[in-house]
Amino acid sequence: MDKKIIYINSMVIGILAVFATASGLFWKGLYKHDTVSGVAQMMGQDLITLIVVVPLLLVSMYLISRASLRGYLMWMGTIFYFLYSYASISFLTSYNQLFLVYVALFSVSLYTFLYGLFSMDIKTIKKSVSTGVTLKVAGVFPIIMGLLLAGMWLSMILGSLLNGNAPAALETYTTLVIQALDLGVLVPVAFIAGLMTLKGKGWGYALVSVLLVKVSLLGTAILSMIFFMARNGVDVEVGQALFFVVMTLAGVVITTAFYKKIHGSLRDFKDLELD
């Protein structure tokens, strides 16, 4: 991987994200076609993306310039956050003046993530992660998270199908975009990453390191969404709120512990150009 591609793509994502999130927070009427709940959630996510995720993207770019493997994996997790977030925003947010910005963020994040993923030196990553209890916990966590997330969404969806009523989370939208992404993408990758990590597979170590960062960031954004929803008088499902609080706190703790076990340099990557 050429570091110029990392820097250029990351700067494009960062600049577009700052514009999109600042617009969401300060442009009155941008979300006027969305529900009260939807607006609260988008503004909550805009805030965390602006003050937490974009700075983390810059930090990870700096660490990559220092040939840090931790920085590279952190960068991948951050790019995964942008990919997931702007995929959901592109498909879920009612059409507004920033539609093309959302699609651009989704597209650049998607191909940047794939570029980084295919450029990983799995053998080097596996050698750079210390084995032990922390690694096992990091493997078990996504499996538990995936099971609980799948159970929460499936109980809601199956219940609505059985009683013939639309789920409350649908509101005035046409379909369940977040649930589709979680059940179709996040839950399967959580199982795959967790199981491969427990089996000592290099791809498991790589995927878990990326997934942990993404889950911690998205969980923080969801907690911000819940705060904005409560502040705007939107009813918040207590069970779901508790789930995200526990998963986010656990994710941050496990991610921090796991990354402390990563020792290695990008200079050990076979195909990574750093000079």
pLDDT digits (tens, 9 = 90+) for 169-210: 777 678 888 999 999 999 999 999 999 999 999 999 999 999
Residue 274 lies in a domain: no
Q: How far apart are CA 151 and CA 187, in angstroms?
A: 10
Residue 9 lies in a domain: yes
Say if CB 61 and CB 74 are below 8 A apart: no
So what's the pLDDT on residue 258?
95
Q: Between the CA of residue 244 and those of 23, 83, 147, 236, what are the distances in Å?
A: 26, 20, 13, 12
Residue 89 lies in a domain: yes
So what's the pLDDT on residue 170?
79
Burial of 163 (0-12, 13-18, 19+ CB in 10 A): exposed
Amino acid at site 197? T
- Domain residues for the domain of 208 are 3-268
Say if CB 95 and CB 33 are below 8 A apart: yes
Residue 275 lies in a domain: no
So what's the pLDDT on residue 272?
55
- 3-class SS at 192? helix
So what's the pLDDT on residue 243?
86
Q: How long is the chain?
A: 275
Residue 111 lies in a domain: yes
Residue 195 lies in a domain: yes
Q: In this structure, what token pair is assigned to residue 87?
A: 């995929």
- Please give the DSSP secondary-structure letter assigned to residue 5: H
Say if CB 59 and CB 72 are below 8 A apart: no
**Total number of domains constituting the chain:** 1
Non-local CB neighbours of 79 within 8 Å, separated by 6+ positions? 10, 13, 57, 109, 112, 113, 116
Residue 273 lies in a domain: no
Q: In this structure, what token pair is assigned to residue 226?
A: 């819940």
Residue 254 lies in a domain: yes
Q: How far apart are CA 29 and CA 47, in angstroms?
A: 17
Residues of the chain with pLDDT under 70: 1, 172, 270-275
Query: DSSP string of 113-161?
Result: HHHHHHT--HHHHHHHBPPSHHHHHHHHHHHHHHHHHHHHHHHHHHHHH
Q: How far is CA 239 from its chain centroid?
A: 21
Say if CB 160 and CB 176 are below 8 A apart: no
- 3-class SS at 228? helix
